[in-house]
Amino acid sequence: MSHNPALEAHEHTEHAHHAAHEEDPFVSRVAITVAVLAVLAAAATSLETVEGGLAITASSEAVLAQDKATDAWNEYQADSLKKHLYGIAAKEGGPHAAEFAEESKSQGEKQDPIRERAQEKENESARLVAESGAHERRHHWLTGAATLVEIGIALSTVAIITKRRSFWAAALGLGVVGVALGALAFA
């Protein structure tokens, strides 16, 4: 069974529309509440899905950035070893000492840009990890919001069946708390 918030909101609205045709004003008000809560639940669920996707995307991009940083650090270390080896060879003298000294210098000059690239990728990874965490936190708040609003829909249905205002009041309260949690997700 698929979980389609838009379809569920439409179904709840249809049920509310049918209930509204009854002559009881209480049932009509509760039916309208169901329709409003269904729209709010669909919105919260959609936002929850988006935030979950953004959290996964940012986390994946953070891993890729860290991999690039690791590759750059490996390149930096390899160039450092080459620089030192050519430096040792140049100090030993011989017919190629000048070439070795030049190559040692060349290897050393390559290191600064590589170090900068590695640090940039580490910073990017850290930023993306923080971004992923923010999306994940919003996702959790929106999950709570959607759950409370959906429980409010269920209580509204119970209110229609039992004609008890206490269930309707509880449904309204859960709807308000759900909306508040949804708003807190982005605060």
Q: Given this model, what pLDDT does residue 24 score? A: 84
Cβ density class 122-131: b for 16+ within 10 Å, e for less: bebbeebbeb
Q: Given this model, what pLDDT does residue 23 score? A: 73
pLDDT, block means (10 residues), the chain with 187 residues: 61 61 83 95 96 97 97 95 93 90 92 96 97 97 97 95 96 97 94
Q: Given this model, what pLDDT does residue 1 score? A: 44
Dihedral of alpha carbons 117, 122, 123, 125, sign: positive
Q: Given this model, what pLDDT does residue 135 score? A: 97
Q: Given this model, what pLDDT does residue 60 score? A: 97
